Each structure stands twice: as C-alpha cells, then as structure tokens.
Structure 1
Amino acid sequence: MVKLLHSEACSSIWFNLAGDVRIGDTTIPGGVVVLPVAKVAAQVSLAPESQLAGVRFQPAIGYGLIRQHFDRPTVLTRDPAHLPGLLALFSSLKICHDNVTRVRTLQSWASNNFRLTQLIPGALQQALDCMKDDTEPGALSRHLDISQRHVERLFKHWMEMTPKQYQRILRVKRAINYIREHASVNLAEVAHQFGFSDQAHMTREFRAIAGTTPGKV
C-alpha cells in the first residue's frame, strides 16, 4: 500500500508495530518514531502485514510536547520529559488485535497525558490564527504586540520555517481541499481564489509542496 503523506507543517509520532514501513526510500525502524516537521509531501509505503499507528500534531504542538526538533525519522529510546508513557503505549498497541482498539488506546493515552493549554507561546498561536484568516506574513506584527523580527524568530524556533513558507503550505492545503470538494472546478479560478499569481504558479507550488499537480488531486 502506498499513500501520500501531505505536508501541512505538522510533526508526527509513529508506532511501527510490525512489518516494512518506508517514507520515500527511508525505512522506518520498529518502535516509537518521531518524524520531523513535514514541509513537503512524502510517499509512505506499507508492505503486506505491516502495522502502523500514530499521532499527528498541529503546527508547533509537536515541538511544544517533545522540546526537540528532528531532521529525520528518529527512534525514541526513552520518554520525553513533557510527553510520558510513549514506550508503554507502544507495548499496549502491540497487543491490540484491531484498529478500533488501537484508536481507543491512543485516545485514552492522549486524554491522560496531553496538556495543551498554553503549550506554545500566545504570540505564535495568534500569528497562526491570523494566517488562517488570510493575514499576509509581512503584516503579522500589525496584529500582534511584537515586532516582525520576533515573529520570524518564533516561527523558526518552534516550526523550523518562516511565516512565508508556512503560508505557502497553508495555501496549497486549502487549494487541495477545495479541489477535492469541487471536482469540476476551473483551475485558473482556483489559482486566483487562493492567491497564486496564475495557474502555472499554482501547479509549481503543488509539485514543490504536495508532490502532485492540481489536475491529479
């Protein structure tokens, strides 16, 4: 089975329970594996009999919980201080017999261990909310009580990217969702609606970030 893992500026924790799992040409070892912030899409391949579970975090949340960035899929050998019980969770997932039980096990662990209140700086959360409302990256400081330079530092420290790069990812994600909901839509109109300079620009951004083209979504 091959699936496209979209970017979305998210990070993930995977539990490779059994079998051969790959991201592109990289083999994912068995165990608790932290994935880096997803800036571009990747092909995920699962061989027959593979068993994979995981949690995908919204932008900046993964770093807020683990307090460390990773540049490649990395096996955890001990629980991060801010996220206890991961290795025990892996053992529990290993003995689950079906996906429904695995999802329930993940939900139970999350409800007992996630403390998301004020997990990331308020200014960063406000900046992310502003960008969801289509605020341009260069105008964020007008909506926040901090300088544009400080906004840039927050994005770099917590998300390993600039506000502009996050805007590109967000724009492609929105366009993908829209095209999926409106199968017969005119792509030139989509490009204009979501702020691309033209359809060719949208196609280039899709290839660079989503690993596909608008016509193949």
Structure 2
Amino acid sequence: MTAAAARQSDIGPQLAKRAGRYREYVPSPALAPHFCCLWSHEIRTASPVAIVPDGYCDLLFADGRLFVVGPDRTAAFPPMTPSMHIIGARFAPGAGAAWLKLPLSEITGLSIPLSDLAPEKAALLEQRLSDCPDGATALSLFATLLSELAKEEAEPDPEARLIFAAADHGSGRIGGLQQRLDIGERQLRRRAHHHFGYGIKTLERIRRLQRFMALCRASETLSLAALALEAGFSDQAHMTREIGDLTTLTPAVMLAQLTTR
C-alpha cells in the first residue's frame, strides 16, 4: 500500500458519492418509466466505501459482469479499489420487481449476478458491454441496450410510486395512502415488501435518512439540531440513533463529508 493509500484507509468510511467521481444522468424518455437515472462511478479512494440505503434497487456493470444490487436495510461496504469504474442504472419504484419477475424482498441486502436471475438479459448485455473501450462508451451502449429491453417490459405498477412518495413525505401520508389504495395496514406492508424489499416503516426511515443527506448538501449553515427537525426526526438524539443504526456513521461525520467541496 502506498503512503497516500495508507493515509486514506485511516480516515474511516467515505460516503459512496464522495469516494471518487460519481455522476448521474437523466434517462431517455424510453427508459424514464423504468429507471430513475443512469450513473457512473470512478473510485478514487482506498478507504472503505459506505453505500447507504436509499430504497432503490440497481443494475450495475463492473469488472466485466452485470449485477443486480437489491435494496439495503443498512449501509453496505462492498470491496472497491482505486481506479475501479462502475456504471449502473437505478430502477424506478416498482420497476425492479417487474423486470426481474420476483419480489425485491428476495434480494434485499444482496448483490447477485444478473445471469442468475435473468440469463437472457445478461447474455444480451454482458458481451457487448465487455467489448467497450472505455466507461463513457459503455454507459452510452448500456442506455441503448436497456432501451431495447424496455420495449418488452410493462411499466411498473403505479401503486409503487404512490407508496414510495408517501414514505418519502413521512408517516403523515401513510393513513391517506391506505385510504387511496383501499387496503389495510397488513396488505400495504406486503405490497411494500414486494416493490421495495421491506415494509413501509423501514422505507420511511430510509427516506428520512435521504432527506437528511439532501439537506446537508443544500445548506452549510443549519445546525445538527435544525437538520434533525427539517428532515423529520423527533429530535437530534433520535437522528443520531437512527442514522447510526442505518449507516454506522454519525450525523456529524456525514454532514462534514456532504458539505466538503
């Protein structure tokens, strides 16, 4: 290990989007019903990389193989090395279960080769992506190939977006969602497990974490106490406990990383 790498490994986990050059791209109209975004990530650190839960499922290409990364309940720390280049596509709410033909609760917390879940899709994608000379070309081809596949896929169930939006806005929306969908609490929990890999309460906690992170990026002046209330936590202690459970990091460490330019 070089001296620079050794210094990096001593600073603790870095949030994934801070661990190198991460970029998101708006999907084409053909892909928009199925994917929130496409993305690329070039790793530039030897430190552990923390991928915190966000309520989504991703399809990614790395080291010549395609993987489905299921929704996480807590932060994942996958092995990564400096100069590693990854491209990916983030499924829209409900689209992962539809494309993979299985409930996302079956792959929660897992990274599985696409060939194990959808061998025909993997065969179409992997060989052509492996022939690309660089990451930019691979990402462009990835979008084109996914657009071809999207023609054969039904759009995700609209209820998935409603469930996700309700969790994203906090518990005040859950009761109204049950009335809108005309279902009970148990059925809502079952449908959330199918679309997102876990129940509505877990999804709500994860989206509250993401609200906290968005607020950190947007403001360098709010105190931790103010961030807690703005994000929807009952108080700063609640935020510290819940973020620690979900990420192993403290709010202060996350704030420092997210506001460093």
TM-score (norm 1): 0.80
- Are residues 120 and 88 of structure 1, via their aligned partners in 2, closer, same or farther at CA, if it must alter by over 3 Å? closer
What's 2:156 paired with? 120
Which residue of 171, 181, 190 maps to 1:153? 190
Q: Secondary structure at the match of 2:118?
A: coil
The separation in 2 between residues aligned to 1:39 and 1:216, in whole angstroms, is 20
Q: Does 1:73 align with 2:111?
A: yes
- Are residues 86 and 194 of structure 1, via their aligned partners in 2, closer, same or farther at CA, if it must alter by over 3 Å? same
Q: Is the 8 A contact 1:42 1:211 kept in 2?
A: no
Q: CA deviation at 1:59?
A: 3.6
- Are residues 53 and 137 of structure 1, via their aligned partners in 2, closer, same or farther at CA, if it must alter by over 3 Å? same
Aligned amino acid, residue 129 of structure 1: A
What's 1:60 paired with? 94
Q: Secondary structure at the match of 1:42?
A: coil
Q: Does 1:36 align with 2:74?
A: no
What stretches of structure 2 of length at least 5 have no aligned partner?
1-44, 255-261
Higher helix share: 2
Q: CA deviation at 1:121?
A: 2.9
> Matched residue pairs, number?
203
Q: CA deviation at 1:4?
A: 2.6
Q: Does 1:6 align with 2:52?
A: yes
Q: Is the 8 A contact 1:79 1:87 kept in 2?
A: no
Q: Following superposition of structure 1 onto structure 2, how do residues 50-199 of structure 1 map, counting pairs within 5 Å?
A: 50-68=84-102, 69-71=106-108, 72-77=110-115, 80=118, 85-114=121-150, 119-134=155-170, 135-199=172-236
What's 2:79 paired with? 45
The separation in 1 between residues aligned to 2:242 and 2:144, in whole angstroms, is 38
Q: CA deviation at 1:164?
A: 0.7
The separation in 2 between residues aligned to 1:193 and 1:10, in whole angstroms, is 23
Query: CA-to-partner distance for each residue in 1:151-192, whole Å, 9 max, x for gaps?
Result: 122112222211111000000101111012212211111111
- Are residues 130 and 114 of structure 1, via their aligned partners in 2, closer, same or farther at CA, if it must alter by over 3 Å? same
Q: Secondary structure at the match of 1:203?
A: helix
Aligned amino acid, residue 131 of structure 2: I
- Are residues 40 and 58 of structure 1, via their aligned partners in 2, closer, same or farther at CA, if it must alter by over 3 Å? farther
Q: Is the 8 A contact 1:207 1:213 kept in 2?
A: yes
Tell me the percent identity: 23
Aligned amino acid, residue 62 of structure 1: G
Q: CA deviation at 1:115?
A: 5.1
Q: Does 1:212 align with 2:249?
A: yes
Q: Is the 8 A contact 2:85 2:135 kept in 1?
A: no
TM-score (norm 2): 0.68
Query: CA-to-partner distance for each residue in 1:6-47, whole Å, 9 max, x for gaps?
Result: 2112112222325xxxxxxxxxxxx22222222222223322
